[in-house]
Structure 1
């Protein structure tokens, strides 16, 4: 019994002495292991928080930079004048003879001044009382046409003087660059909205048909040219080349006339004498 107690005491004493014989750095590291791990974990958490805040600030800064850049780009784009593809004559007005209760006509010369094919389109805020001929089309580089605009003139109200009556009707001409040899379809302007340019907004100006002025004379001349161009388009084109009949057989017009002449001579030769 006493021997067992003595052995237990010797083992405990040996552990104490072995602990005392350990180097100072080893004892301190073992004692502060828990404190060190807790402090390192807290410092790593702090570093992660700081990193996340810096990342968020960087992302916010990038977003603000992109937003400000887009705003500046939009502002600069709005300040840059739109490059015209069409030349209009008159440039910003449509002149109509003032004849209340009647349908009157105006004209405008449209010319493609760009180096590519351009589609154009008319729009008005009064489609029930106005229409254009042609309302749209495609012009080759350097090509021009005279469009005719029809408008019904409302009678004056409130004792207004006829010639002083102002109209709220406006016309807008839009243009779109297209590839050559393209047929016009209404979907062109809907499919490429970002490429459409507003060439001009035309205001309505009334002229006294009884009073001669340069604008009225020019209008009458343009209307006459538009009518002549329309009539020429209605006429069938004369075929000046050789005619092809049957399966690719080319008949010379001179040879055909000669054969007809010889046939006529033969008929006359066999007739009564």
Structure 2
């Protein structure tokens, strides 16, 4: 009987623990609660930082908010923007536009060493005004987006870099379009002319054999070909869609 009683006691203790599980797991539960609270705190702080702290810029743009174009309806006109790498790393940059059929950039992308700058030229076809629209009434919806990406030494520029590492891409600016009256002198128009002249001189200089090796922006000769290729692909798709609809 004594042996039987001894055998029943552990079972009764086990039943007691099963009835009151918080006795055996209170320590684990407390640890889990603290761990969840820490994770929640980290998540909230990271979300708060993303809202309160803007992404760090790698490029300084001049002009910083708009692209200025001379208003000449029915013609292809040019604008310019200077990009300077203000970071301590090599930075790739890339242009995108909401109107790829009527606009293109030279260069459309490239890599800048720390402190290096380049003046990019932007080409745009200006549509004829509707209903005798005046220059002051022109509201252009075309936008240009400039993106940047930190790259390692030895990496060559290809547009696919921004697709392969899209989580690390920073949108530097989204630039709107402002038209200028080419017949009316203004500080913005004079600055545009100086930048375009500097950009043209840089293009001519890059055509000459380099006297010394160093970091270079994307090859200029490929820009027009790339734009023409995109245009041809677009027209080919349009033709296929027209045949399919017939």
**TM tier, shorter chain?**
0.7 to 0.9
1:185 partner SS: coil
Structure 1 distance, partners of 2:208, 2:12, is: 98
- Paired residue for 2:19, among 25, 29, 46? 46
Alpha carbons of structure 1 residues 143 and 37: separation in structure 2 relative to 1, 3 Å: closer
Alpha carbons of structure 1 residues 58 and 147: separation in structure 2 relative to 1, 3 Å: same
What 5-or-longer segments of structure 2 have no aligned partner?
213-246
Q: Shift of residue 68 of structure 1?
A: 3.6
Say yes or no: does 1:132 pair with 2:105: yes
Say yes or no: does 1:203 pair with 2:176: yes
1:62 partner SS: helix
Q: Shift of residue 214 of structure 1?
A: 0.6
Q: Which runs of 4+ in 1 moved over 6 A?
A: none
Bigger Rg over Cα: 1
Say yes or no: does 1:79 pair with 2:79: no
Counting matched residue pairs gives 212
Map 1:1-273 onto structure 2 (within 5 A): 36=9, 39-48=12-21, 50-51=23-24, 55=28, 58-59=31-32, 62-236=35-209
- Judge which range, 128-137 or 112-121, deviates more: 112-121
Structure 2 distance, partners of 1:177, 1:171, is: 20
- TM-score after normalising by structure 2: 0.74
Alpha carbons of structure 1 residues 36 and 214: separation in structure 2 relative to 1, 3 Å: same
Contact 1:163 1:208 (8 Å CA) reproduced = no
The RMSD of aligned alpha carbons is 2.8
- Judge which range, 52-61 or 97-106, deviates more: 52-61
Higher relative contact order (CA 8 A, sep 6+): 2
1:137 partner SS: strand
2:78 partner SS: strand
1:65 partner SS: helix
What 5-or-longer segments of structure 1 have no aligned partner?
1-26, 240-273
Q: Shift of residue 54 of structure 1?
A: 6.5
Alpha carbons of structure 1 residues 145 and 33: separation in structure 2 relative to 1, 3 Å: closer
